[in-house]
Amino acid sequence: MNHGDTAPAPAAAMADIFMEISNSKTASMAVGVVPAASAATVQSDAAKFIFFCWDEGEGHKSPQAWRPREVEIGEPKEGEIRIKNKSIGVNYVDIYYRTGLHHEHLPFVPGKEAVGVVSAVGPGVTGIKVGDVVGYADTQMGTYTEEQIIPAILAIPIPPSVDHITAASVLLKGMTAYVLVRQAFKIQAGHTVLVHAAAGGVGSLLCQWANALGATVIGTVSTQEKAAQATEDGCHHVIIYTKEDFVTRVAEITSGKGVHVVYDAVGKDTFKGSLECLMQRGCMISYGQSSGRPEPVPLSDLAPKSLFLGRPGMRHYTTTRDELLHAAGEVFAGIMAGVLHVRVNHVYPLHEAARAHAVLEARRTSGSVVLLPGS
């Protein structure tokens, strides 16, 4: 599914189309991990099907270890709603949790992003009714489900003009991109930026958004095919890092000046080089580590060029409901203005979540990956 056929509109159009999202106050199928030694099932108010691990010890780290399991669905309590998921976004952070890079107690249901239809409303909830289409992202774990119960205050109304697959693929990634380009480092016209993994889910949106804001965008990718996509997404210069050294190429492109900001989701393999690419007083934004955790950086390494280093997380910029709805509104406004084109290049049934993880982990994806319950 490709949403990149329309020419981008100016960034100013986003403000004109910005939506005032209403102030509304998270199964049947879930994907989770359970150690085989306990032969446990997940008794949860939020799940009906569970994927669990057959193997002991480290076995849960393999996506092939997941299996479906049915459990009971509860009713939403005070301040909660139940959502029948229509589309589920897959993100690299899901792999971090599955492999143990981010810790989560077993058993657990992975997933941080989904869109669905409200199927039940708990006591005390106002502004949301059964049948409403809502999304939720980067809140509690457990979106690999057919249904889930969440606090109503976390639900984001989805505009009618945005289909559920697009919404599920862009909520977490889009709000992350918003935080990176408008909060953690505010891109301005004339800036030069370096985006690693430029053809990835977040990287694609970063390139488009930075271009619309008037920046010169340099992107790194692994293949010629991804280079073509990055160019379509607004990269002025694309570096295929498997064929050329990105530090050398950035120096050539910028005539030795370096870039104002680096957005790095790769981590270990690119971290040191990214610091080298920065100009004086440049900013290194690390927001992922698909190649592993970077080695520790002594503060003294930042001193020669007075560099800034940040590791922002979306949740810290959406701590209030107003902040959450504003971030989501900026993303939807960008889509409707034609500034952001969402690439949903990989769609799998929910029961093929293991396959989706394997492909994403092998870096054989571009754009977004989505799971569809009941397909």
Q: What is the CATH number of the domain that holds 178?
A: 3.40.50.720
- The closest of 266, 318, 311 to 285, measured between CA atoms, is 311
Domain carrying residue 72: 22-158+343-372
If asked whether residues 102 and 177 sit together in one domain, one would say no
pLDDT of residue 213: 97
pTM to 2 decimals?
0.81
If asked whether residues 193 and 284 sit together in one domain, one would say yes
Strands (E), 102-210: 113-121, 133-137, 147-151, 156-157, 192-195
Residue 256, CA distances (Å) to 100, 240, 247, 248 in order: 40, 19, 10, 9
If asked whether residues 311 and 191 sit together in one domain, one would say yes
pLDDT tens readout for residues 12-70? 333 333 333 333 333 344 443 333 333 233 334 444 555 544 344 555 567 776 767 77
- The phi and psi torsions of 134 (rounded to 5 degrees) equal -135, 160
CA distance 29 to 135: 17
Question: Does residue 300 belong to any structural domain of this protein?
Answer: yes
If asked whether residues 27 and 61 sit together in one domain, one would say yes
Between strands 344-349 and 368-372, the pairing is parallel
- The closest of 366, 82, 87, 328 to 224, measured between CA atoms, is 366
If asked whether residues 179 and 307 sit together in one domain, one would say yes
If asked whether residues 193 and 140 sit together in one domain, one would say no
Question: Does residue 116 belong to any structural domain of this protein?
Answer: yes
* Segments of the chain with pLDDT less than 50: 1-47, 52-56
CATH number at residue 70: 3.90.180.10
If asked whether residues 262 and 186 sit together in one domain, one would say yes
pLDDT of residue 29: 41
If asked whether residues 298 and 177 sit together in one domain, one would say yes
Question: Does residue 132 belong to any structural domain of this protein?
Answer: yes
Question: Does residue 231 belong to any structural domain of this protein?
Answer: yes
Instruction: Please give the tally of structural domains in the chain.
Output: 2
3-state class (DSSP) for residue 334: helix
If asked whether residues 45 and 148 sit together in one domain, one would say yes
3-state class (DSSP) for residue 182: helix
Question: Does residue 163 belong to any structural domain of this protein?
Answer: no
Question: Does residue 324 belong to any structural domain of this protein?
Answer: no
For tokens 């969402």, the residue is: 342
Question: Does residue 4 belong to any structural domain of this protein?
Answer: no
Question: Does residue 328 belong to any structural domain of this protein?
Answer: no
If asked whether residues 73 and 201 sit together in one domain, one would say no
- The closest of 102, 120, 123 to 111, measured between CA atoms, is 102
Q: Which residues contact 197 (CB under 8 A, 6 or more apart)?
A: 203, 220, 221, 265, 266, 288, 290
If asked whether residues 177 and 298 sit together in one domain, one would say yes
If asked whether residues 360 and 240 sit together in one domain, one would say no
Q: Do 287 and 270 touch, CB atoms closer than 8 A?
A: no
C-alpha distance across the termini of the chain, in Å: 16
pLDDT tens readout for residues 117-159? 999 999 999 999 999 999 999 876 788 889 989 999 999 999 9
